[in-house]
Amino acid sequence: MKEIIFLIGFRAVGKTTIGRALADRLGLTFLDTDVLICEKKGATVKAIVQAEGWDGFRRCEQEVLRGLVDQSRCVIATGGGAVLHQHLWPLLKEHGYVVWLTAEPDILCQRIEADSISDTLRPSLSGKAVCAEVREILALREPLYRETADIIVDTGKLSVSDILNKIITNYEFVIRNS
């Protein structure tokens, strides 16, 4: 039985917000891989990347992801780049249901630009302006998100309640039929 719900998707799609609400609604524990990485390293994502580069951050992210198969009854919000560890996802999918939260690039740009603490917590991936980076990185990652996901939910057009209902309805269908 798949007792873990993994939330994947680009930055600012609402993985943490939806994840907390989903865990609360289902009576599950909520975990966030970025928080787990920061706790493990004792630093912010930005500080980890400054000290070790994105490669160092991704190595730690891979270790954290690998350790999640031992979890049960939880919702896990993954970092936007967690999908890059494609060799781990078959194992993670054995234990969990994967929800790709998505939104149009313009909506993501608006959300990121409106978040006053975003720049202090998350460094740029490419050094480009926010909207250019969103479009570039999304173009690279969308095929990986699509390949990994069990369901796709657009967070740009639905209310939180509608998003939760869609995820829960599909998740319960999978549980009943597995």
Q: What is the CATH number of the domain that holds 73?
A: 3.40.50.300
Total number of domains in the chain: 1
Q: What is the pLDDT of residues 99-121, one digit of tens each?
A: 999 999 999 999 988 876 665 56
Q: Categorise residue 127: left if φ over 0, alpha if ψ from -120 to 50, beta otherwise.
A: left
Please give the pLDDT value at position 74: 97
Please give the pLDDT value at position 124: 66
Least confident of 70-84, 105-119, 144-158: 105-119
Mean pLDDT across 155-176: 93
The residue segments making up the domain with residue 11 are 4-176
CA–CA distance, 19 with 13 (Å, rounded to integer): 11
Burial class (CB in 10 A: 0-12, 13-18, 19+), 70: exposed
Q: What is the mean pLDDT of the chain?
A: 92
Please give the pLDDT value at position 89: 95
Please give the pLDDT value at position 177: 82
Please give the pLDDT value at position 166: 96
| Torsion 67-63-154-110 (CA) sign | positive
Sheet with 74-77, side-by-side order of all strands: 29-32, 74-77, 4-8, 96-102, 151-154
Mean pLDDT across 38-55: 94
Please give the pLDDT value at position 118: 62
CA–CA distance, 98 with 101 (Å, rounded to integer): 10
- Cβ distance 98 to 53 under 8 Å? no
**2: pLDDT confidence band, cut at 50, 70 and 90?**
confident
For 25-38, give the DSSP string. HHT-EEEEHHHHHH
Q: What is the pTM of this model?
A: 0.93
CA–CA distance, 59 with 62 (Å, rounded to integer): 5
Please give the pLDDT value at position 128: 76
CA–CA distance, 105 with 31 (Å, rounded to integer): 26
